[in-house]
Structures are given as C-alpha cells and as structure tokens.
Chains A and B, each alone.
Chain A
C-alpha cells in the first residue's frame, strides 16, 4: 500500500527533526521544508495527503498563505496549522466562528508545545 505523504513546514529545525521522526515512525512519508518558499516549490509538482504548517515562518502569516494556496487547488487536503501566535502576539483566532472560517482555510489549529500523541490522533482523524 502506498504510504501517505505529509507536508511538514516549520522554520524551527528542532520541530522538523522531532515531528518528522515521529511521522516516519507512524508510517508516513514526510516532505519536510523550513520555509513557505520551499513548501510552494514542492507544491508546484507534488501534492501531500495532509499538511502540517507552522503559521509564522518568513512572514507572520506564512501558514495562512500556504493553507490558502493548498486549499485553492486541492480543497480536499486536510491542513493543520501549528501555531504559537497566541503566545507570540497576544492574538487568538477562533477557527470555529463563521467569520474566521471564511478566510482561514485550515481544518485545525494546534497550539505549539503539543504532545506527539495528540498529533497522531489528529492525523488519524483526517487520514484514516
């Protein structure tokens, strides 16, 4: 059976190292990139089964931009935005309100500092 591919975009190499390690352990193929630009380069020719995007990379809203672009061409690809924006900027996004839903094109928010098991359950929810 084909392994499912997860796009992992985060500018923190330690997050990449740890999350990638676990995703591979759980049997997923991982495309790990450290910037929005690299993620966009991958998306030109490839398409993941799920994407885990850090919100703040080169810009404060890199994750929103990537998510918007993924959903525009492949609305069926689940997108998880992992973010520390609430801690960093004192702003919290309520993804469940219709107003936010209209422009935040992500399926789930994951506050940084999450447990790997939490991530695993979330991925299983979308991919199994």
Chain B
C-alpha cells in the first residue's frame, strides 16, 4: 500500500482535525490496480508555516485554505508554483469567486473543495486528486501541466465535436458503399441516428455560445432589474413542447422577486435548469419551480420527480462536459455544459448552486444569488 502525505493548511483547528480524522481512515483503490493508497496528514495553521515545512518535506497533496491569517492561500499557491514543487494542490475555500478560481487554476490548483464540506465530499475530492496524482506519476508527458489545463477545454471540445462527426462519417460511408443493400428503407435507422447526431452538435454549439458569452461579456453594461417570476414563466413556455410530449406537470410558485442582472443570463439559467428537470424526469412526472427571497439572497429552486443521482454522481456534476452516464441516462441527449454554465453564471453574481438528489426519486437544484 502506498502512503501519500497530505499537508492541510488551515487556520481553523476544527477543520484540520476533521480532515485528519476523515483521511487517515480513508483508502483509495482503483479497480485496475493491485495496490491501494492511504493517507498521512500533516497540518499547519498558516501560509508561512506551510512554506517553512515545504522547505524540508514535499507532500504529494496540499489542501490549502484560501482565507488564512497573514499570507493568503493564493499567495502560497503562487510561491509553490515559483518553487516548481511537484505537488497536487486543492483549494479549500468558502468564497469561491470566478476570479479566484481562474487565478488558482492558472497557478496550478487542481480542485476546489468548498466549505462547509461533508466527509463524503472531502473523500470524493481526495479520490479525484489521488487519481490525478496517479495519472501524473505514470504519464511521462505531463510536465507542461499549466499549458495542459489551458488547452484542456479546447481538446475536450474538439472531442465532443469529433465524436458525432465520426459517427456521421461512418454512417455516410455505410450508405456510400450500400452496405445495407440498395433499398433506401434499410437506411432509416442510419438516417435517423445521423440527424440526431447533427441535432446534438447544434445544441453543443448553442451551449458553447452561451458559455463563451458568459465568460467574455462585461456584465455591468447590461444589468437591469429583472422579474425572476416572469423569467421563470418564460422559460416554462419555452420548454412547453417537450413538457407536453412527456406529459410532465410544471408549476411555478413564489412571490414577485426582482434581481439586478443581465436578463439573458437568467434566461440561460432557467432554461438549463428546466430542460434538465424535464429531460431527466419520468413520463408523467412533475417539476416545481420556485423563486423566493431568503435573508440577503434570492433563491431559484427547481425540483423534479425524475431519475435522480447518487452522491458520487452529484459530486461530478458541475465539471465541464461531464454527463452522468448510467442505464437511466442512456439516450438522453446533452452537451454536458448546461449545469457548468448555470454554476458559472451564479458565480458571476457572487452566488452558488446547491443540489440534493435521491436516485429514482428526483433532484432539487437551488441557485442562491446574493442581494447586493
């Protein structure tokens, strides 16, 4: 069994001892490996102490709090990058803004663990980090890690477009070579599948346009007071054809709530949340949309009676291009960008997204946007 050293940098003793307790009993095993990984934790309460320790010990993993007394997590991360230390860093943070996320990713952070986290969430992050560590160790060509992260989005994107093209090319080839005979009716499935893949590519491109739009545009110029209830009703009307087809009951509750935002951001958010709630529902199911004010925030809540997800599936949900693949989601089209877009828009307004889900019973998504 290989032991990985984890350096926990956090000024809260409770968090440090919690992480230590959770990780020291935790094992990570890959079903294709003979050996498991276990963890040994070291802890420090400040960035300065962390850097002193890093002069003598190089851990495999660092869990780095962003808010620290004195030097903050981002500064520590920068120094780790300058020192070119061979270590996987994950940021622990309560205030994950888009800017912090972008900067930390550029400086080599591999993961974000938002506070507060449950033992299951921490374990799931550590599993992922360990897998990255393992892959890094066994692949010799990953030295230019920073560049790789930057290009990862593009390479994932090209793959997502290449897959349907491969399928289309294969089908066209089958038709060209008359592989199913001369009778056109034999090609019905081939043609139907080709049209579906073209449709999938179109949705991906539309999602990408949303994605680049929210990344590129300056928000201040387009902000106005938006009636959230009205935007929700508009999104419900947009999704109506699919709702009728699947006999799903969609209802909207809540008071009149106004929020300062670019209305198109909210439309993208509602459309994505609602289309997921309908797509991943059972025929004859239900979707409830609710907007309300809670303390100093507005909450957009979309609840469905659909196929739901396991805890592990939920933890992977907001990563770009991640689609939960199982027997229940097979055949449901999607680009894997929708929730990542919703999450990014929420972050843009200083908010965040929460999800709770029970397999076979349904999911509830809540977008919480702070009132400024």
Contacts and interface: CB of A to CB of B under 8 A. Distances in A.
Interface of A: 11-15, 17-18, 21, 25, 34-35, 37, 57-58, 61, 64-65, 67-69, 84, 87-94, 97, 99-100, 103-105, 112-113, 116
B31 interface: yes
A21 B138 contact: no
Given A88-B159, A99-B138, A68 B31 contact: yes
Contacts of B356: none
B296 interface: no
A113 B139 contact: no
Contacts of A11: 325, 330
Given A18-B167, A18-B174, A21-B174, A103 B33 contact: yes
A113 B167 contact: no
Contact of A113 (B140, B142, B166): B166
- The number of chain B residues touching the other chain, given as a range, is 35 or more
Contacts of B179: 21, 25
B32 A91 contact: no
B contact face: mostly helix, strand, loop, or mixed: helix
B189 interface: yes
A67 B326 CA distance: 20
Contact of A14 (B151, B159, B170, B327): B170
B67 interface: no
Contact of A34 (B158, B166, B167, B330): B330
A18 B171 contact: yes
Contacts of A92: 139, 141
A90 B151 contact: yes
10 closest A-B pairs by CB = A14-B167, A87-B159, A68-B32, A64-B32, A18-B170, A65-B31, A88-B159, A90-B148, A113-B166, A90-B155
B347 to A, nearest CB: 24
A13 B330 CA distance: 9
A14 B193 contact: yes
Contacts of B117: none
Contacts of A13: 193, 331
B279 interface: no
A103 B138 contact: yes
A116 B31 CA distance: 31
Contact of A97 (B140, B155, B166): B140
Given A34-B330, A103-B138, A88 B193 contact: no
B32 A87 contact: no
B15 to A, nearest CB: 29
Nearest to A84: B159
A18 B193 CA distance: 11
B85 interface: no
Given A11-B330, A21-B174, 4 more contacts: A64-B32, A89-B155, A94-B141, A112-B163
Contacts of A99: 138
A17 B142 CA distance: 35
Given A90-B148, A90-B151, A17 B32 contact: no
Interface string B22-61: 0000000011110000000000000000000000000000
A112 B166 contact: yes
B174 A35 contact: no
Contacts of B330: 11, 34
Most buried by A among B32, B33, B158, B325: B32
Contact of B167 (A12, A58, A88): A12
